[in-house]
Amino acid sequence: MPDTARTDKWLWAVRFFKTRGLAAEMCAAGKVKRRGHALKASSALHPGDVLELPFPDGPGMRVVTVKGLIEQRVGAPEARACYEESTAAEVMAAREEWQQARKEGLRGRPTKKNRRLIERHRGFFE
């Protein structure tokens, strides 16, 4: 195992982002932080570093501690062994609610079918 790893490679290898390019974009946008400071894609990570990074597909910030360094993408069980999740329970609960609302299609403008169901529920057609 190496002593250091590039930030973008590590984020991709432990499966936080689907592509290394997406991990590099998040770093370039200043969304990946260590001790409150934005990291570049080429910044070196060390075991014990605490990172704040956004979820790639929704609201919220994830907090993880680097436990092991890898540079090649591996299976999910091996990847989970390289970090420790320390995200607050409130953030995870809010994210779960957001995902549930997204699945139900209640987010954003309702479809014609959803609008009719809402109006029926309110008693508009009765």
Q: Rounded CA gap, 105 and 101, in Å?
A: 6
- Per-domain residue ranges of the chain: 1-87, 88-126
Complete edge-to-edge strand list for the sheet that includes strand 83-85: 37-38, 33-34, 50-54, 61-66, 83-85
Quick: pLDDT tens for 36-84.
Answer: 999 999 999 999 999 999 887 777 889 999 999 998 999 999 999 999 9
Structurally, what CATH architecture does the domain formed by 1-87 represent?
Answer: Roll (3.10)
What pTM was estimated for this model as a whole?
0.76
Question: In this structure, are residues 63 and 50 in contact, taking their beta carbons and an 8 Å threshold?
Answer: yes
Quick: pLDDT tens for 81-105.
Answer: 999 999 888 888 888 887 777 777 6
Q: Rounded CA gap, 115 and 29, in Å?
A: 38
Task: Bin 40: left if φ > 0, else alpha if -120 < ψ < 50, else beta.
Answer: beta
